[in-house]
């Protein structure tokens, strides 16, 4: 299907990468960093204006809407990216939403939302890519340090991210024959405003977040092959 530029350890130059969540802060930064390192990117996101801004900043990358509740749409995103880019060497999913509150305070609708956006949507996007991605390509998602250190008042958010993390671990093992590289990016708290946009509750007092641009450069270093995959 293609020569799998990223996959074969030749870095990101010429790699074709889908970024799902490109309308968000980390997704937008990652799309820019990937392109700066020579990748061709296809962008998916929910907010059409922010998605268009990111695409325009990249000189007109292909864009497609992404609704976390439309799992059929999530599942066909990779096929769209293959058509747009002429193949696919990597997928990075940065979709996510926070939610806070003691477990007895969190409404069922918010629990469903947290699991849909943080687990089902990313897993469905990546599942849809397994068959079409080049041998040695990468599948990546941002989970969070919360997987290792769940905080009080985040049970459902942390559980959804942990479920995604577990899922990624199994995909990594299933993908060995295809030399798939699977990344579970457990990023620390970053200064993106993410925790101020929860679907439910209010965030606890958090320390100053880290620099998102620094974190994204390190993440893309990993994708580029400067460091081994997480699992
Ligand atoms: N910032 C942190 O401290 C931190 C730490 C660890 C992990 N993370 C993870 O990093 C990822 C990116 O976060 P960020 O900091 O860049 O925050 P962000 O700017 O709020 O990005 C969140 C992304 O998820 C998308 N999204 C939310 N609900 C959606 C839905 N129902 N359907 C489709 N897309 C939806 C947003 O789309 P729109 O913008 O178009 O609405 C946006 O692209 C998240 O998965 C988050 O859990 C963040």
pLDDT in tens, 3-39: 444 444 458 999 999 999 999 999 999 999 999 999 9
Q: Which atom from ligand 1 is nearest to the alpha carbon of 46?
A: 40
Ligand 1 first shell, C-beta below 6 A? 21, 23-27, 45-47, 50, 66-68, 94-97, 117, 142, 144, 187, 189-190, 192, 194, 197, 209
Range 211-228 average pLDDT: 88
Instruction: Enumerate the β-bridge partners of residue 43.
Output: 19, 63
Task: Please give the pLDDT value at position 108.
Answer: 98
Whole-model pTM? 0.95
Q: Which domains does the chain have, with CATH numbers?
A: 16-206 (3.40.50.720)
Please give the mean pLDDT across all residues of the chain: 94
Range 44-52 average pLDDT: 98
Task: Please give the pLDDT value at position 11.
Answer: 86
Residue 229 has pLDDT above 80, yes or no: no
The rounded Å distance from CA 9 to ligand 1 centre is 29
Task: Please give the pLDDT value at position 4.
Answer: 45
Instruction: Place 228 in a pLDDT band, splitting at 50, 70 and 90.
Output: very low
Place of tokens 């100053």: 208
């Amino acid at each position: 299907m293609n020569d799998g530029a990223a996959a074969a350890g030749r870095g990101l130059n010429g790699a074709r990468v889908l970024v799902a969540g490109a309308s968000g802060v980390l997704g937008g930064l990652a799309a820019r960093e990937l392109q700066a390192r020579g990748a061709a990117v296809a962008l998916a996101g929910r907010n059409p204006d922010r998605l268009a801004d990111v695409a325009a900043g990249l000189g007109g990358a292909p864009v497609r809407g992404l609704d976390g509740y439309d799992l059929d749409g999530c599942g066909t995103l990779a096929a769209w990216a293959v058509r747009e880019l002429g193949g696919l060497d990597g997928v990075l999913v940065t979709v996510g939403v926070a939610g806070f509150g003691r477990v007895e305070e969190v409404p069922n609708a918010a629990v469903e939302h947290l699991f849909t956006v943080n687990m089902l949507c990313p897993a469905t996007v990546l599942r849809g890519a397994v068959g079409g991605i080049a041998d040695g390509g990468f599948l990546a998602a941002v989970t969070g340090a919360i997987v290792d250190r769940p905080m009080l008042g985040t049970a459902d958010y942390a559980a959804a991210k942990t479920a995604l993390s577990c899922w990624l671990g199994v995909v990594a093992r299933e993908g060995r024959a295809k030399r798939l590289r699977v990344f579970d990016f457990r990023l620390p708290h970053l200064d993106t405003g993410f925790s101020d946009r929860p679907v439910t509750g209010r965030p606890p007092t958090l320390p100053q977040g880290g620099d998102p641009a620094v974190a994204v450069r390190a993440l893309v270093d990993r994708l580029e092959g400067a460091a081994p995959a997480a699992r």
